[in-house]
Structure 1
């Protein structure tokens, strides 16, 4: 692949500058990751569609990201193109209690705006670090709430550049999962119908949740969010704590003393450190409890040694 030629061809499709050898550590909440061959910022659904058509024709792999949470990028980086759903995809249009939110908008920002408008239901999401598109795709939730319960429709661009819309009846939501994971398309907009509420009550609930988070989560350190999915009828963080693994550190990554399911970047962390710690915690928790913890974090790119998945995919 001739980088200069590919960058030049991509640039003809985009308003924003195409970046090469872009460090993914600046684009993930874990502050970890090597360089991506190319980084692009589509300014519209039409630009996104044009990029996807070009990448398919050239057989160039790609990864779409929002805020970069729940993502571990290998130290050797990513081959192909990273599509960043940034500022042009970060708006919201309100009609009463219904909002059409762009996929790149931070779900926490949407939760706060909803509360300010007296629209209830998303208070739980104020502290979730991901983007709206990623949050809906994985049905992100906290404190008993899940974003999927408010979705009425999604707009997307499929891998062949065609625009499509799915209604709520066409989408299946589960725990940290949805049928959108199997949809060969990138979410561009989401329509949510919220409940009538009281502004002061919603803001008070957000404040309560934020206080709980500050006491139980290491918000002062970079992390990917929850590392593991909760097993049936239990909590990954509880099992990690019972196995005596809080404080365990490999290289620059440590299991938080505040919450066992948060692995924090102590400074200078590498993806190899994080992946090794994930595997070690899985091993020891299994030895202690007989339960295999399933990662919630998505590992992509090249780690040195066996390469991980680099197929066309979407992240948060």
Structure 2
């Protein structure tokens, strides 16, 4: 069966961009995760459509992976097809709009807007995810979020059709959207921005970059901020007040620099990383009666 799927996939995209038993730890910010049966990196819309249709028609499991900045892949890896849109990385300007393909980093879209003297994407200058991933979770930082500037997005739906949808169609709210429930694949996003002065835009981005680098444990692999902000609280403060910083399991631990981060400090496994997440949730619930909801996605099998 595996040989047949491989043969079929080689008819859909350049075989150079098909990897069998690919280690997903090489594609996640946490440096965690087992193997993908088939790791595909298409570069054309038609290829994405063909892959989606093939997976649906043949009941082959299908998973979309951005640049792995906000996901944990379990040690058993992911069965079936893992689709990466890293080769969809173009960014261009049309009027006061920045149009970025889904595999481009949202950081790079922010930097492009700076170069073009367009304001509105400064908040994204430190968010490590892709444009597609940023839409998927309505990424935000320092008071700004994707829904503030998104005008529309080009997507492939579950039937493999390409459609353009306005921003309001995605039900963007705090760290969530309807993209996963509607099984959409973002191909590109259009951001509506405003003309600004380069020095003013750069000053804001420099300030946000300083705040990020001084407060976040960027020296270790991590998935970024693990938990959503609970109503009336800050996740990091609750974790800090629970005396959990420096506590961990195996090679994974709660960061001593920022309690909202869990770092892969010493060749952790995904199982250890997830056990630390669960330990934090359990402890905060016991101490403060607050349920911490994960912001990070967990994919794959043990």
Is the TM-score greater than 0.5? Answer: yes
Residues 1:56 and 2:56 are matched in the alignment: yes
Residue 3 of structure 1 deviates from its aligned partner by: 1.6
Distance 2:166 2:258 in 1: 37
Q: 1:87-166 alignment to 2 at 5 Å? A: 87=87, 89-166=88-165
Distance 1:180 1:195 in 2: 27
Taking only aligned residues, the RMSD between alpha carbons, in angstroms, comes to: 1.1
Deviation string 1:228-250 (CA, Å, 9 cap, x unpaired) is 11101211111100111111121
Residue 17 of structure 1 deviates from its aligned partner by: 2.8
How many matched pairs?
A: 301
1:261 corresponds in structure 2 to 260
Contact persistence 1:23–1:36 (CA under 8 A): yes
Residue 181 of structure 1 deviates from its aligned partner by: 3.3
Residues 25-34 or 117-126, more deviating: 117-126
Q: 1:119-268 alignment to 2 at 5 Å? A: 119-268=118-267
Aligned with 1:180: secondary structure? coil
Residue 286 of structure 1 deviates from its aligned partner by: 0.6
Residue 146 of structure 1 deviates from its aligned partner by: 0.5
Contact persistence 1:246–1:255 (CA under 8 A): yes
2:67 corresponds in structure 1 to 67
Aligned with 2:179: secondary structure? helix
Contact persistence 2:78–2:300 (CA under 8 A): yes
TM-score (norm 2): 0.97
Contact persistence 2:98–2:109 (CA under 8 A): no
TM-score (norm 1): 0.93
Distance 1:99 1:211 in 2: 25
Task: Quickly say closer, same or farther: Cα 1:276–1:169, change in 2 above 3 A.
Answer: closer
Residue 182 of structure 1 deviates from its aligned partner by: 2.5
Residue 180 of structure 1 deviates from its aligned partner by: 2.5
1:4 corresponds in structure 2 to 3
2:24 corresponds in structure 1 to 24
Deviation string 1:119-157 (CA, Å, 9 cap, x unpaired) is 111111111010001101211000000011111111111
Question: What are structure 1's unaligned runs of at least 5 residues?
Answer: 304-316
Residue 258 of structure 1 deviates from its aligned partner by: 1.1
Deviation string 1:203-261 (CA, Å, 9 cap, x unpaired) is 11111111111111001111001111110121111110011111112111111111111
Question: What are structure 2's unaligned runs of at least 5 residues?
Answer: none
Distance 2:147 2:246 in 1: 34
Residue 42 of structure 1 deviates from its aligned partner by: 1.1
Distance 1:298 1:173 in 2: 17
Distance 1:239 1:125 in 2: 25
Aligned with 2:224: secondary structure? coil
Distance 1:256 1:102 in 2: 33
1:290 corresponds in structure 2 to 289
Aligned with 1:36: secondary structure? strand
Deviation string 1:15-71 (CA, Å, 9 cap, x unpaired) is 243111000100011100000111001111110000011111110111111111111
> Which structure has more RCO (C-alpha within 8 Å, separation ≥ 6)?
1
